[in-house]
Amino acid sequence: LASVIADACTFEELDDYRQRLEDLVAERTADLEQASREREELLAELRRHTGLLEQQSREDPLTGLANRRYFDEQLAAAIDIAAAGGRSLALALIDLDHFKQVNDSAGHAVGDTVLLRFAALLMQHAPIEALVARIGGEEFAVLLPGLSCDSAVAAVELLRIRTPLIPIDDLPLRTPLRFSAGVCEWTVGDDADSLLRRADRGLYAAKAAGRDQVCAEPA
C-alpha cells in the first residue's frame, strides 16, 4: 500500500511538473510572439520614417514639388538617356512675373499662397511624364522627356494660358497671375549647365520682350 501511495504521489508530482512546463512554454511562446509583433511594428515605423525622410529630401517643403537637389539628379539622368540616343529632352524655366511686388505689397503669406496655387496648376496640367520642380523663390523648372522644343513650347503655352485663371479673388492682388518662360531642347554636347543656361537665355528673352510669354532658345 505504501508503494502504491508513493507511486501516486510521484505521478501527481510528474503531472504537476508537466503542467508547469506546459504553462512555461505557453508563456514563453506568448512572449516571443509579442516580441515578434513589436519588432514588426518597429520595422514598419522605421520604414515609414525612412520613406518620409527620403520624400522630404526630394520635395520643396512649401509646394510639394521636386526640390532643386532632386531636379538636378533627374536632369543629369535624363541627359544621360538623351545622350545615349534614347529619346529627346526639353527643359523649361518658368518665372512668375512681378512676384516680388506680391511679396512687397501683400506680404509673404500671400506670396506663399500664390506659389502653392501656381504649383498645383503646374502639377495638374503639365505633361504626364514631366518633372516639375521649384528651383528658386518664384522660379520653376519643368523637365520634359520625350518632347521636342516645339512640343515643349506648346505644352508650356497651355500652362501660361491657364495661369491667369488661377483664383485670386480672396487675395489682395490687383492683377491676375502671369509668367514668363524659356524653353530649349537638348542637343549633342549639352550638359546640365549648358542646358540650364540656354533655357535661362530664353527666359531672359521672354522678360525682355514684355513678359507673359514663352520664348524658345535655339541650340
- Which helix (H) or strand (E) segment holds residue 144: the answer is strand 139-145
Rounded average pLDDT over 169-178: 93
217: DSSP letter: P
Residue 31's pLDDT is what?
A: 74
- DSSP, collapsed to helix, strand or coil, labels residue 66 as strand
13 is catalytic: no
Q: Show me where the domains of the chain are located.
A: 1-58, 68-216
Q: For residues 169 and 181, is the Cβ–Cβ distance under 8 A?
A: no
Residue 174's pLDDT is what?
A: 86
- Options 3.20.20.370, 3.30.70.520, 3.30.565.10, 3.30.70.270; which CATH number does 68-216 get? 3.30.70.270
Residue in 40, 45, 54, 138 annotated catalytic: 138
Distance of CA 171 to the CA centre of its chain: 27
Residue 34's pLDDT is what?
A: 75
7-24: per-residue pLDDT in tens?
Answer: 555 666 667 767 777 777
132-166: per-residue pLDDT in tens?
Answer: 999 999 999 999 999 999 999 999 999 999 999 99
Q: Look up the pTM and report it.
A: 0.76
Residue 33's pLDDT is what?
A: 75
Residue 2's pLDDT is what?
A: 46
